[in-house]
Chains A and B, each alone.
Chain A
C-alpha cells in the first residue's frame, strides 16, 4: 500500500510587493499532525509536490498549544489557529493563506501590531507603577472573577478582527478584542481608575459604534471570549459616559 500523504496548497509571497503564488506540497501523514507541524515538516524538506526545490515557508508560531496567539491564518478559507488545526479534521487539499486584513510581511506572516496599538490607546492595563510600594491590591471577589476570567483569556490572535466585516481600512474599526479588554480592565478594582478615559477613547472614530453586530467575532474566537456580551456592555457604558460628559460639560 502506498504511503499515506497530506496535500497542502499554500499561498506564498516573497515580500510585500512580490506577486502571490500558490505552491502545492505533498508530505507524509503522521499521527496527530497539525498545520504548524506540517509547516515544520515542509521546512525540513522544502520541495513542492512536483519535485521543485523551494524556500521554507515563513509563518508565526510559538507555543504550539493555542495560547500565544501567533499562528492565526486562513485554513480552508477560515481564520483560525494553525497549531490547533488537526490535519485529520480538515478537508484536503488543505488551503493555507495569510490573514487578509493585516499588512503582509512574507508568506503567512503578517504584521498585527494594530491590535497592540489599539490596546495602548485604550490603556488596557492596570496602573501599578509608582515611586513607592503600593502594597497588596484590592480583593477581587469570586463573582467578579467569574466575569473577568473569560475575558482575560484573550491571546491577541486577531481572528475576531480578521472575520469582522466592519474591521477594514474604510472604517478603521478597533475590533472586538480591544473592546473586550476595555471591559476586563474597567472591571478591575485598580484598573478602573482609567474607566472614563477608556470609554471616551472608544467613542472616537473607529470606536465601538462601528460594530454592526454581525457576531462573527464570537463565532471565530478560539478562546471563546464572550465578545458580543462585552460589545453590548461597553456599548451601553460608552453611551452613558458620553451623556454624562455632555450633561456635566
Chain B
C-alpha cells in the first residue's frame, strides 16, 4: 500500500487512499472530478488498473466523497472499466451521492458501469 501511495504522489496531485475490506480493494475518490481533474484522476487510477485483472482483488471506487463528475471524468471511468473487463478483472463504483447518482442515470452510465448503493452491498457481491 505504501508503495502504491508513493507511485500516486509521483504521478499526480490527486490522492486516492486505498484499503482492503472483505477481499475487495477499496479506492476512495473525493472532490470534484471535472474536466481539469479528470486527467489527474486518469493518472491516479493507472497504477490501480495495472493490477486489476483476473485473480487479483476486485477494485471498488468509493464515490461517497465525490460531489461532482463531468463527462470527461465519466469517460475515464468507462475506459477503466473497459480495460479491467479486457483483463477479466472486476471494477465497480459504489456509494454515489444522490446528485452524482442522478448524473450517472442521465448520462446512462448506470447502464455501462457496475454501480452499488453502498460499499457493504458491493463487498457482499464482489468480496470473498
Whether both chains belong to one complex is answered with no
| Chain B residues proximal to chain A, CB less than 8 Å | none
| Chain A residues proximal to chain B, CB less than 8 Å | none
